[in-house]
Amino acid sequence: MQTIDIFERLRRGETILPTDPEAYKMREASYKTKELLVQMNNATDPADIRKLLSQITGAEIDESLAIFTPLYINYGKHTKIGKNVFINFDCTFLDLGGITIEDGVLIAPKVSLLSEGHPLDPENRQALMVGHIHIKKNAWIGANATILPGVTIGENAIVAAGAVVSKDIPDNTIVGGIPAKIIKSI
């Protein structure tokens, strides 16, 4: 019987137990990513930064991406970034569950995109649960906002600074607060 690779299982949304025989591969991959992150976060040329980010994500990063480092990513291969995206300083992407950032998205400083979490049950708390984050076209994520696993941010939506988003946000809405709630439609 052929075993499905742990990263494919994560991409599919599977919960990974700490006893999983391939769990060690997640840490090994994050150490490899960290080596590239150190180089990227110390680079000053935008072309070099994009080249290193392409290596981290395993996909070509469009030259229209503007990114102010540092950026922190724990894996990278499950992050997809569109065109004309702006990522400001000091953001954190935990992407084992997958992160998709569509065209025209603005991401302010200190935003956390967290596609990973843990079960509530203390007996299983060491397990890793994942949920794909999807940020649709032209969304704007305000400073220090946190997007939790499994959330979709709608097209043209705005997430206010400091918000914690735990549920999907419809297109053309502004949300804010903890937990984030709809403030108004655009």
Separation of alpha carbons 169 and 86, rounded Å: 20
Tell me which of 78, 118, 132, 134 is the catalytic residue. 118
118 is catalytic: yes
Q: How far is CA 132 from CA 105, 113, 125, in A?
A: 17, 10, 20
Tell me, letter by letter, the H, E, C secondary structure of the chain. Answer: CCCCCHHHHHHCCCCECCCCCCCHHHHHHHHHHHHHHHHHHHCCCHHHHHHHHHHHHCCCCCCCCEECCCEEECCCCCEEECCCCEECCCEEEECCCCEEECCCCEECCCCEEECEECCCCHHHCCCEEECCEEECCCCEECCCCEECCCCEECCCCEECCCCEECCCECCCEEEECCCCEEEEEC
Active site residues: 118
